[in-house]
């Protein structure tokens, strides 16, 4: 974060604020100083009359100044300052600027603003760059893989909160993620002045606007694919949409477009015939006169697996939590969820890897008996409708002595949890859950994930814990209304991904009885190069306690070029992580090892090339003009930069402001008085020395 120093013109004024008591002390100090001076130099003095007067005046001044300093009266100091208005300049540093051949114009605009003496005299100008991130401008590379204009605007508004700060926005207006910047005008206090980079002329163009497919599919199943095809032009045309796999056509369709019928959604299904990563290329055949043919092709991939985790939810009641659990679990296509009543569950338990018991009561008697017989993994959710007398009697892993009273509880993440990697998603800020009043005791080997808090105070009772015993895994979550947590997570991040990922990790851990390894690695089969490429790992000591002091490294090898790179994994909460976004698209193998230990884990992944910044053909001038209009600014093109500068200089809304500040200044802080004392003593010493009196 940058720190800005504002230039001020400072005019200090000091006024007296003495009260009657202080004035009385000063008068007494003057009398005492006079008496002492007269006694020293007026009573039986041996000096000449001239020296007597000189020494008397100097000594009186010295004594009086010292006594006044001891009294230490205060004075009011008033400072006036002139503050210039701020002028943040935001420059788009994304790849789309280079793709539209606007790098030279962007640099020229920036240089013109820096060289304008009149502009810099009126404003305190500061420069920023944005793309994927927002930061102070160092140099322009135009290589950012994403553009978030709305985040840049809100960030600079927060930075210059309550100050006069119009914004110059140098961009093509093409945003790839974030809130639509056309509708954030309510958050902006001052005008936005876009400098539009790019051609506003519409060219004939065909493109794949978006393409979605499942990330996973099961062997011998079909997975859906949906492509949105968009045409820009006035003539009626036809083109062919083709999907290929290793050069072989697996889907083909001819589509007609016109000026009015310019968008088609193509939905189809492809068979998952082989296990592993299956890479596809979707293309819409380009027109001869197309200017941008990069956006005619998109690659996508599907990881085909031959197994799934079947989850059974057993519940005797209807509750929003149950629906929430299904949505969170089935976000991962490798998992399926089935609902069933307790009386029907015992006969089918063996068909599932994990059984979720939601608020069990006496109707679950046959279910518990069969679970113990089959040694199934369980995930129990309890709340205000749980029959704890029944639960305490039917199993021995945990118990809770309750009274007929409910309480609201919040949670805090235990960062020392080590069974699998968890990062905080804001648990302590989530709404309270409901549960029965009482303490939960766990009587089997366990680890706590979430600790329970009541009214902000730790209750020393777990909210969520996992248990490993007799080659089975179990978990208990003591809290009702979890659906509120998922909703709050969405409100905080505009996505369910964080919460669903947390539930997914729990289900993955509980759905397997695989023996734990001292080095656990988490990665996926493929990544797109415009998204974060992260691989994480956990390392445990011989007692299976997470070791935060280990040194982990990953060696990544490009399977085609054989180029090898080694990177350290950095500690993040209770797992180690490395970001590999610098790698080029391709297929890689990797090995994670622990220093001074004969432990390693290997795997492979593919990075698919997709540069969304290359998909644009024109500047988004309409959106930028609309933003300028809503904020009482104005849009310009690079050729009009002098007009923009003149507009800002002559705009009377952006003027310097005068500020005043008053404060009480003790006399002891006035340095010239100390100087006066030193001067008087020095003069007296020199006169005595000159006259041979020392």
pLDDT one-digit tens code per residue, 3-25: 333 333 444 444 445 578 878 88
User: What CATH code is carried by the domain that includes residue 155?
Assistant: 3.40.50.410
Structure tokens at 258: 């016109």
Strand order in the sheet with 205-213: 205-213, 222-232, 263-271
- What pLDDT is attached to residue 4? 36
Q: Which of 64-68, 342-346, 483-487 is the least confident region?
A: 64-68
Q: Which of 165-174, 248-257, 410-419 is the least confident region?
A: 410-419
Residues 381 and 409 occupy one common structural domain: yes
Beta bridge partners of 467: 446, 474
Question: Which of 517, 551, 555, 518 lies closest to 535 in space, CA to CA?
Answer: 555
CA distance 175 to 612: 10
How does DSSP classify residue 530? T
Residues 479 and 556 occupy one common structural domain: no
- In contact, 151 and 144? CB cutoff 8 Å: no
Residue 262 pLDDT > 60 = yes
CA distance 381 to 358: 5
Q: Per-residue confidence at 544, pLDDT binned at 50, 70, 90?
A: low
- What pLDDT is attached to residue 515? 65
CA distances from 547 to 105, 373, 551 (A): 53, 36, 10
Neighbour tally for 309: CB within 10 Å:
19
What do you get for the CA distance between the two ends of the chain, in Å? 62
Residues 601 and 641 occupy one common structural domain: no
- What pLDDT is attached to residue 668? 66
- What pLDDT is attached to residue 305? 77
In a domain, 354, yes or no: yes
The model carries a pTM of 0.51
Give me the phi and psi of 160, to 5 degrees please.
Answer: -110, 40
Neighbour tally for 230: CB within 10 Å:
16
In a domain, 6, yes or no: no
Beta bridge partners of 222: 271
- What pLDDT is attached to residue 665? 66
Residues 461 and 348 occupy one common structural domain: yes
Q: Per-residue confidence at 514, pLDDT binned at 50, 70, 90?
A: low
Beta bridge partners of 433: 409
**Across 290-308, average pLDDT:** 82
Residues 411 and 296 occupy one common structural domain: no
List, for residues 450-501, the tens digit of each pLDDT value: 999 998 888 889 999 999 888 899 999 999 999 999 999 999 988 898 999 8
Residues 319 and 468 occupy one common structural domain: yes
Residue 548 CA, chain-centre distance (Å), reads 24
Structure tokens at 586: 């391709």
Residue 129 pLDDT > 50 = yes
Residue 635 pLDDT > 70 = yes
Residue 93 pLDDT > 60 = yes
Structure tokens at 541: 């000591």
Residue where a domain terminates, one of 268, 285, 305: 305
List, for residues 214-257, the tens digit of each pLDDT value: 777 777 788 889 999 999 888 889 999 999 998 899 999 999 99
State whether the Cα torsion 62-68-72-74 is positive or negative.
Answer: negative
Q: What percent of the chain has pLDDT over 70?
A: 93
In a domain, 8, yes or no: no
Per the document, the length of the chain is: 694
Residue 43 pLDDT > 80 = no
Q: Per-residue confidence at 525, pLDDT binned at 50, 70, 90?
A: confident
Strands (E), 504-561: 519-522, 526-528, 534-539, 552-558
**Across 536-551, average pLDDT:** 82
- Domain range for residue 464? 310-510
- What pLDDT is attached to residue 367? 94
CA distance 249 to 550: 49
Strands (E), 160-204: 167-171, 192-196
At 110 the three-state DSSP class reads helix
Residue 163 pLDDT > 90 = no
Q: Where are the alpha helices (DSSP H) in 567-650?
A: 621-630, 641-650
Domain count of the fold of the chain: 5
- What pLDDT is attached to residue 312? 94
In a domain, 642, yes or no: yes
Residue 95 pLDDT > 60 = yes
**Across 619-626, average pLDDT:** 90
- What pLDDT is attached to residue 2? 37
In a domain, 108, yes or no: yes
Q: What percent of the chain has pLDDT over 90?
A: 44
Residue 669 pLDDT > 70 = no
Residues 649 and 667 occupy one common structural domain: no
What value does the mean pLDDT of the chain take?
86
User: What CATH code is carried by the domain that includes residue 235?
Assistant: 2.60.40.10
Helix (H) or strand (E) holding 592: strand 586-594
Helix (H) or strand (E) holding 1: none
Question: Which of 381, 369, 364 lies closest to 316 in space, CA to CA?
Answer: 364
Beta bridge partners of 299: 281
Q: Identify which of 401-415, 515-529, 550-564, 659-673 has the greatest average pLDDT.
A: 550-564
Residues 186 and 288 occupy one common structural domain: no
């Amino acid at each position: 974060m940058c720190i800005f120093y504002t230039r001020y013109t400072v005019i200090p004024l000091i006024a007296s604020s003495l009260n009657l008591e202080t004035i009385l002390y000063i008068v007494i100090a003057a009398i005492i100083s006079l008496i002492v001076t007269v006694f020293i130099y007026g009573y039986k003095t041996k000096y000449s009359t001239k020296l007597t007067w000189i020494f008397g005046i100097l000594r009186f001044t010295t004594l009086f100044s010292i006594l006044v300093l001891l009294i230490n009266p205060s004075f009011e100091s008033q400072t006036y300052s002139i503050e210039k208005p701020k002028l943040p300049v935001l420059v788009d540093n994304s790849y789309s600027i280079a793709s539209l051949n606007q790098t030279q114009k962007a640099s020229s605009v920036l240089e013109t603003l820096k060289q304008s003496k009149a502009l810099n005299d009126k404003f305190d100008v500061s420069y920023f760059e944005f793309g994927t991130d927002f930061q102070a401008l160092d140099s322009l590379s135009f290589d950012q893989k994403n553009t978030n204009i709305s985040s840049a605007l809100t960030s600079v508004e927060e930075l210059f909160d309550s100050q006069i700060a119009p914004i110059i926005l140098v961009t093509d207006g093409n945003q790839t993620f974030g809130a639509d910047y056309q509708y954030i005008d309510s958050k902006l206090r001052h005008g936005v002045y876009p400098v539009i980079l790019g051609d506003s002329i519409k060219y004939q163009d065909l493109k794949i606007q978006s393409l979605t497919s499942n990330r996973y599919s099961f062997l011998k199943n079909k997975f859906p694919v949906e492509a949105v095809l968009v045409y820009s032009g006035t003539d009626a045309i036809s083109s062919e949409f083709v999907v290929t796999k290793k050069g072989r056509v697996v889907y083909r369709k001819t589509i007609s477009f016109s000026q009015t019928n310019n968008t088609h959604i193509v939905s189809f299904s492809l068979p998952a015939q082989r296990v592993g990563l299956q890479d596809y290329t979707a293309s819409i055949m380009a027109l001869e006169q197309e200017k941008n043919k990069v956006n005619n092709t998109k690659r996508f991939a599907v990881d085909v697996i031959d197994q799934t985790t079947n989850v059974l939810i057993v519940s005797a009641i209807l509750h929003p939590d149950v629906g929430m659990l299904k949505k969170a679990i089935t976000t991962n296509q490798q998992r399926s969820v089935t609902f069933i009543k307790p009386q029907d569950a015992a006969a089918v338990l063996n068909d599932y890897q994990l059984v979720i018991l939601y608020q069990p009561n006496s109707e679950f008697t046959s279910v518990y008996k069969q679970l113990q017989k089959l040694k199934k993994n369980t995930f129990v959710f309890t709340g205000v409708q749980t029959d704890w007398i029944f639960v305490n009697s039917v199993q021995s892993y945990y118990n809770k002595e309750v009274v007929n009273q409910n309480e609201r509880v919040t949670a805090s993440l235990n960062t020392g949890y080590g069974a699998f990697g968890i990062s905080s998603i804001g648990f302590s800020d989530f709404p309270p859950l409901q549960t029965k009043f009482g303490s939960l005791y766990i009587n089997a080997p366990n680890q706590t994930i979430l600790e329970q808090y009541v009214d902000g105070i730790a209750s020393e009772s777990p909210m969520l814990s996992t248990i490993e015993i007799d080659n089975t895994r179990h978990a208990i979550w003591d809290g009702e209304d979890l659906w509120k947590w998922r909703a709050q997570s969405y409100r905080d991040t505009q996505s369910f991904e964080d919460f669903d990922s947390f539930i997914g990790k729990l289900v993955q851990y509980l759905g397997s009885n695989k023996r734990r390894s001292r080095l656990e690695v988490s990665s996926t089969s493929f990544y797109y190069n415009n998204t974060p490429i992260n691989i994480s790992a956990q390392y445990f000591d011989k007692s299976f306690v997470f070791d935060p002091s280990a040194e982990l490294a990953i060696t990544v090898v490009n399977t085609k070029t054989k180029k090898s790179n080694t990177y350290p994994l950095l500690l993040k909460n209770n797992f180690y992580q490395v970001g590999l976004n610098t790698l080029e698209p391709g297929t890689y193998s990797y090995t994670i090892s622990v220093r001074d230990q004969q432990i390693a884990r290997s795997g492979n992944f593919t990075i698919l090339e997709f540069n969304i910044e290359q998909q644009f053909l024109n500047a988004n001038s309409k959106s930028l003009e609309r933003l300028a209009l809503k904020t009482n600014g104005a849009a310009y093109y690079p050729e009009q930069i002098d007009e923009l500068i003149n507009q800002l200089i002559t705009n009377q809304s952006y003027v310097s402001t005068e500020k005043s500040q008053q404060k009480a200044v003790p006399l002891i802080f006035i340095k010239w008085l100390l100087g006066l004392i030193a001067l008087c003593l020095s003069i007296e010493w020199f006169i005595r020395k000159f006259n041979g009196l020392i």
